[in-house]
Amino acid sequence: MPHRPRAAMSRRIPAHVTLKIRAGIPSLRSVRFVREAERSFRVSCDRGDFRLVHYTLQHNHAHLIVEATDACALARGMKAIGSRLARAVNRVFGRRGPVLLERFHLRVLRTPLEVRRALAYVLLNARRHAERVKYTLGVDPGSSGRWFDGWTRLPSSQRPGAASVAAVAAARTWLLRVGWRKHGLIDPNERPGPGGSNDQRLANVTHRVESGAQHGGLSSGDQAQSGRWHDRHRMVSAWSRPLAAELALLPPSRPRSTTSSRRLHQRRREMASWSSS
């Protein structure tokens, strides 16, 4: 069955790429593999016509934000990244054979909002998975978040040292360097996804309102959107107070499922291994 044609690439437009791993391969989030992947990415992150700008490693897949001059440069760059990732997997886990499940999935990011959402989705992807078991993470050590300069705040303990060499290339497209910031910087505690939570969207609008006031002007669209979100925020707050009182009268919820508890313990063991490394 023929594949669908990929979206056209341009030197002015970044893309979000997903690589899936075959079943039976150990988690890509082990400390040994993440360190090995960083060494591999440092060698291949900038090929002139292709750049790996951000990444995150999850248990059975990886998300990448890349730039390429055209479709051919994208294909060559992803072939290099995929082969280096596969060799790192086989080297660390002492195995042989294919690693990638299928060809990579591509989504071209054409607008500042799409880029902002993709950055939050990639850099905070571990937190997205962890929220399924009500356990949150800071800046993911299995991602390029340490070298990202678009956080609203970043604890000094999570910043890379002066001698740390980034495993990613610097962005060159306007969308990845400047454009996405018009929708607000990214909070490390934000839940990634389309649009985020209502509170996060309200914070983004407030950020644009304050930025517009500082620069002596604010568009009518932002003024209207700001008013709508503040009104909605007040309405939700008014509803939540009586709802919380009613919920307090309900019987306790059922115990956490075995699967959720297992995931929670796995996340805690994972973070303990990171802190001891």
Query: Is residue 213, in this structure, part of any structural domain at all?
Result: yes
Query: Is residue 239, in this structure, part of any structural domain at all?
Result: yes
Both 79 and 154 in one domain: the answer is yes
pLDDT at residue 61 in the model: 93
Domain holding 90, by residue range, is: 14-186
Query: Is residue 124, in this structure, part of any structural domain at all?
Result: yes
| 116-137 confidence digits (pLDDT tens) | 999 999 999 887 766 544 444 5
Both 171 and 72 in one domain: the answer is yes
Find the helix or strand (DSSP H, E) in which 27 lies.
none
Q: Share the mean pLDDT of the chain.
A: 77
In this structure, are residues 101 and 21 in contact, taking their beta carbons and an 8 Å threshold? yes
| 183-226 confidence digits (pLDDT tens) | 999 988 887 765 454 444 544 544 555 555 444 455 555 555 55
Instruction: Provide the number of structural domains found in the chain.
Output: 2
DSSP 215: T
In this structure, are residues 141 and 42 in contact, taking their beta carbons and an 8 Å threshold? no
Query: Is residue 204, in this structure, part of any structural domain at all?
Result: yes
Q: Which residue has 């990011």 as its token pair? A: 109
Query: Is residue 63, in this structure, part of any structural domain at all?
Result: yes
Both 65 and 138 in one domain: the answer is yes
Both 120 and 235 in one domain: the answer is no
pLDDT at residue 188 in the model: 86
Q: Which two tokens stand for residue 88?
A: 């790192």
> Domain holding 126: CATH number?
3.30.70.1290
Tell me which residue of 83, 51, 66 sits closest to 17, measured CA to CA.
66
pLDDT bracket for residue 246 (50, 70, 90)? very low
Greater model confidence, 237 or 120: 120
pLDDT at residue 7 in the model: 67
| 15-30 confidence digits (pLDDT tens) | 999 999 999 999 999 9
Residue at a domain's end among 164, 186, 208: 186
Both 92 and 160 in one domain: the answer is yes
d(CA 99, CA 92): 12
Chain-centroid distance, C-alpha 112: 15
Both 128 and 223 in one domain: the answer is no
Both 23 and 135 in one domain: the answer is yes
Query: Is residue 191, in this structure, part of any structural domain at all?
Result: no
Query: Is residue 265, in this structure, part of any structural domain at all?
Result: no
Both 24 and 141 in one domain: the answer is yes
